[in-house]
Structure 1
């Protein structure tokens, strides 16, 4: 039943009673028991319904009773304090029945809490505060619910917090600090780590003797390490120091926490202190050596890519490596906001940077990958507030900022889920398990994960970029596709470039809100509109004759080859020399590739050479005007100017040239073409690989 517009903003005349709520809730709980191990869905935000997270403390708002909540309203400047009176029903969120100090009851739905938080399924009897709550109509008559989207809008209150009304307390708190510690130990043994953290926190608050607190900090540090809450683990580890030699464990835990945050220099300092106090500790020495290896990678960019590749499998996509970023720096760009710039001269083929993902779930099903990344981003920003310093500064599209994103309020960082989703959609990358495997015919199609690389996210787009990215698990490798000078802006290709300028720029406007000003797009704007329309028509005609399919093995009829050749020449004539003299001709790539395949099937090797060279030319590379001319294919990487486009199709064309030259008896040219193909394959896959695995 849809809610009437005249009820919006009003207090409902009737709500479901506590008994009615309990009856319905029990039905849901029974359904939940039937499938306790079912994967938990994620509620991704609907961007058209965006509203900001609360930035106020619960102590700075007016606390109101549940019966004052108004329909479809965000109660700015107000808050509620309620006790949970039912077990949670776990779905996309956790739905519980709650009661305020006046006996009013309602439903509370808490979304976007990670498994590390006790709020992901608040136990019965806990007291929570909701800041500036949103009261939602559920569709059925008299059925409403308090809906909490932003994880920082709900606070788990300590039982002794003076803000908790007396009637909501559990009664006299008989537990001492030692009782809470024992409860935490029990929860830990039961692997209920969020509850263990809660109990250890209560123990620390109850203890009056500071000398008794270090062991509790140690326990909480270890539990937070298990939960991946590295900021809190590091703080607890350092708080557990006593000034005695046993402090080696405090520094060891602090070092492990810093390592988890990829703060390798800080990790090294803490681990050195641990070794100073415990030189014989083999575990500490092992962590220290691992940390030194990450620092070498950060400084030198010296990676064993073959070893990294050998470790990859669907269950192990997160590689233990450091990020090599020192050749680049983030600065203001004349194109769009911030950009990435070279801090030194970089030669074609060299690593520009290699970056381990800040956040990347192991989820390669496209239908689930986006939701998995969104959920991970929210959880990690809540669990490790230090991430906010980098992640929440990224471009979020049209989502408005409050300026308080990431600020600690009521002990938790302000996390706006709509801002997070905006950042995800504008900055994430789609990726295979490895780019190398993705070039092979045996690769299963459609397997794409999504991840966030903060440094790489600052790169602006160009249709003819000077770098090419590849992936090994959660590591992004960026290599120079031509020589880059110190101070030059570094560009990447956001998505595969469409042949027609208007279509690709429409994609950029819809996806990122910009119009491309790369040399190719700027050059193509000089073409007459009438020419552009004729080019579209000619491309459609070519694709129709070719059935939008490149030739496989077998003979293509001469008539078909002549038809495609004729249409390709007509299309070529629609590219004005004054515009395209040094630019790619993207609409010609498909027919040129098709003709390479067709002539190869007929073993017409001289024609394979002719059209293979045309493929390279149409990608913007400098090639000989006459295919009989002697040339070095490796020169395409250094003498083609700033408007060439490197793709796997360039590698394929070079391989075909090598094959054709070999068949024609031009051994030297075959060798040079193969060398150029191998070099290009390194650019595509990220490291040197054997071409034999490519799809023939």
Structure 2
């Protein structure tokens, strides 16, 4: 998928003078059709070309229509005005050309007065006929937006919000007499047969349309029941689980054959991750099938067992993480697992709006929650991942309106949030109201970048920047802290959150939105630009007590440190040995930087600017096999991450306890694990096997937090 961006053309600039005015000249019907046919010919030459995505520009946001087609005033195409949203009005048009499929479906349309124009319908799910409206169909566009399309005399009706266009039934009384063809088929039997043919030809949206016409045409309940079953099965294949469940339950007749209705309803509920409801339906299916002559019991039992496994995961958080990791592949990223969320709840936060709070005490290293993605496409190409997530979100909200409550209530940014109408989760004209600008605002503020597997992503050979984008609605309620008490990791579409220190019942749980920058002003500028807040965590609040001159001086020395370290890093030169003179220079700069940290401010706080030079010194001394210095600077790395460790040589300490000291303000990262491993290596080289084992144990425990489950941390180094 690709993002469509239309460049600003001189003609488009000139069109601004026409805002609110009729076009001075519109292309004739013959001109429109002739140009359209040239596009169709190009389309025929590349039928398998990937369909791009038109992502909305938030600065151009306008709300979706919340009116019914029965409540708007319809007007002829000739009354459309340039760059205008025609509020309270609508148009009814017949499609008189095949659609040209690009970022949207572009068709030539005609109204009941003989006026002709161009209609572009964007953001429709593939499960809908509206994603490629067939010639001859009649549609109503509510509160249409009429825009200049770039070229001279080129205008079109642009439908961005999928709920702003409605496909009218052929017998709908709204259709003007001039556009009426009458029903294409006369009887319910003919419509059912047409649906069966479309199903066999794998044209599932058309099959749903035909089955719907059959149901609307017939009054015979005995006829309707099997058609509801057919439509339920088709909707299941389309991933339209809400509709599939409604159809399945509507197909019941009160007899033993209803096992299939409950079976389909159970499968639909499972698709929505509503496992308790799924179990109820499947148990009803099992009960009915056991007394019937059907051969469906085996399949029902299999689905029932699968559902029970998900319920156990929801209740106990009992996961076979190694098996989950082994099942992952680039083509199998969506794991069949349930979400374990009962240790946390959403509530009002004193920090920002809502947050997550622990419902029980959670010890360091334990699961806080495990969540299956609400939405996550299998797209790990960075340039396409955002567009893929946006497109999936729109589709799923259209196809499964029950998702609206968990998704559309998320924070979307102050500008977009101000345009909420309150109707975002309502059904109007049989379709959920989906505002694509609101969806994009929610995506930008709440999505996570996720590797296929965090444990594999820690390997040195892991491809850089190879990330999918996903939305985890529960995790999205977590507020940010630069020194959070949880750490997240990923296995396919599963987000695993573990406590990085002991969490008390009722305590708010925090996460890092992005990796924390060393300097307080730089990281908060990022938070302000991305989410509209300045962090008030213990670290940021403490660092703001430093005089501005000190902060500026610290930045200058940090730049000098990074320049010196990057000039010749550990591993450079023969056999990875760094000259002593270079080490002494870095040591001197690190000490200079340390002196700029006021003891009264940084007592008990991380000193993030010191992590890089101390890590560098650990590597440099490791290359020279100076094991005592590796231990000295390894402890400083841990201290600078905020862990309370002894800095005096020879002091006794227990590495594993550094995660559980009450009141600590620390930051857990993969670099902590790496430092502990190098310290274990140094202890072993010095003959201190007990301390080597303890550092190794602490590293393994830290790696559990980083990767989400127990793994060997030796994979993080070449």
2:660 matched to 1:660?
no
Residue 524 (structure 1) aligned to one of 543, 551, 557: 543
Name the CA distance, whole Å, in 1 between partners of 2:68 and 2:32: 30
Secondary structure of the residue aligned to 1:547 is helix
2:489 matched to 1:470?
yes
2:275–2:310 contact (8 Å) kept in structure 1: yes
1:501 aligned residue: 520
What are the superposed Cα offsets for residues 284-324 of structure 1, whole Å, 9 maximum, x if unpaired?
A: 00000000000000000000001100100000000000000
Q: 1:395 to 1:549 in 2, by over 3 A?
A: farther
Secondary structure of the residue aligned to 1:120 is helix
TM-score normalised over the length of structure 1: 0.99
1:15 aligned residue: 26
Structure 1 residue 170, shift from structure 2 partner? 1.6
Name the CA distance, whole Å, in 1 between partners of 2:276 and 2:533: 38
Residue 455 (structure 1) aligned to one of 446, 460, 474: 474
Secondary structure of the residue aligned to 2:576 is coil
Structure 1 residue 443, shift from structure 2 partner? 1.1
Pairing 1:212-611 to 2, within 5 Å after superposition: 212-279=223-290, 281-397=297-413, 398-399=415-416, 400-547=419-566, 550-552=569-571, 554-611=576-633
1:613–1:627 contact (8 Å) kept in structure 2: no
Name the CA distance, whole Å, in 1 between partners of 2:17 and 2:271: 52
Secondary structure of the residue aligned to 1:147 is strand
2:636–2:647 contact (8 Å) kept in structure 1: no
Q: Structure 2 unaligned runs (5+)? A: 1-10
2:717 aligned residue: 695
Structure 1 residue 541, shift from structure 2 partner? 0.6
2:693 matched to 1:671?
yes
Structure 1 residue 166, shift from structure 2 partner? 1.5
Q: 1:293 to 1:174 in 2, by over 3 A?
A: closer
CA RMSD of aligned residues (A): 1.0
2:122 matched to 1:87?
no
2:632–2:647 contact (8 Å) kept in structure 1: no
Structure 1 residue 211, shift from structure 2 partner? 1.9
Name the CA distance, whole Å, in 2 between partners of 1:355 and 1:64: 49
Structure 1 residue 208, shift from structure 2 partner? 1.5
Q: Structure 1 unaligned runs (5+)? A: none
Name the CA distance, whole Å, in 1 between partners of 2:400 and 2:352: 29
Q: 1:525 to 1:436 in 2, by over 3 A?
A: same
2:29 matched to 1:41?
no
1:431–1:448 contact (8 Å) kept in structure 2: yes
Name the CA distance, whole Å, in 2 between partners of 1:328 and 1:140: 54
Q: How many matched pairs?
A: 696
What are the superposed Cα offsets for residues 206-261 of structure 1, whole Å, 9 maximum, x if unpaired?
A: 00212210000000000000000000000000000000100000000000000000
2:6 aligned residue: none
1:29 aligned residue: 40
1:127–1:156 contact (8 Å) kept in structure 2: yes
Which stretch has the larger CA shift, 182-191 or 169-178? 169-178
Secondary structure of the residue aligned to 2:120 is strand
2:644–2:664 contact (8 Å) kept in structure 1: no
1:620–1:640 contact (8 Å) kept in structure 2: no
What are the superposed Cα offsets for residues 578-636 of structure 1, whole Å, 9 maximum, x if unpaired?
A: 00010000000000000000000000000000000000000000001313111111111
Residue 118 (structure 1) aligned to one of 124, 129, 132: 129
1:621–1:640 contact (8 Å) kept in structure 2: no
Name the CA distance, whole Å, in 2 between partners of 1:383 and 1:593: 50
Q: 1:409 to 1:49 in 2, by over 3 A?
A: same
Secondary structure of the residue aligned to 1:161 is coil
2:191 matched to 1:180?
yes
1:618 aligned residue: 640
Structure 1 residue 200, shift from structure 2 partner? 0.2
Structure 1 residue 35, shift from structure 2 partner? 0.7
2:108–2:119 contact (8 Å) kept in structure 1: yes
Structure 1 residue 692, shift from structure 2 partner? 2.4
Structure 1 residue 550, shift from structure 2 partner? 4.4
Structure 1 residue 7, shift from structure 2 partner? 1.2
Name the CA distance, whole Å, in 1 between partners of 2:263 and 2:568: 59
Secondary structure of the residue aligned to 2:377 is coil
2:171–2:183 contact (8 Å) kept in structure 1: no
Name the CA distance, whole Å, in 2 between partners of 1:374 and 1:494: 19
2:170–2:183 contact (8 Å) kept in structure 1: no
1:356–1:453 contact (8 Å) kept in structure 2: yes
2:427–2:433 contact (8 Å) kept in structure 1: yes
Name the CA distance, whole Å, in 2 between partners of 1:151 and 1:436: 39
1:634 aligned residue: 656
Name the CA distance, whole Å, in 2 between partners of 1:30 and 1:627: 78
Residue 156 (structure 1) aligned to one of 159, 167, 173: 167
1:189 aligned residue: 200
2:130 matched to 1:108?
no
Name the CA distance, whole Å, in 2 between partners of 1:550 and 1:495: 26
Name the CA distance, whole Å, in 2 between partners of 1:403 and 1:115: 27
1:593–1:615 contact (8 Å) kept in structure 2: yes
Structure 1 residue 4, shift from structure 2 partner? 3.8
Q: 1:443 to 1:173 in 2, by over 3 A?
A: closer
Name the CA distance, whole Å, in 1 between partners of 2:332 and 2:717: 26
What are the superposed Cα offsets for residues 22-75 of structure 1, whole Å, 9 maximum, x if unpaired?
A: 000000000001110011000000111000000000110110000000000000
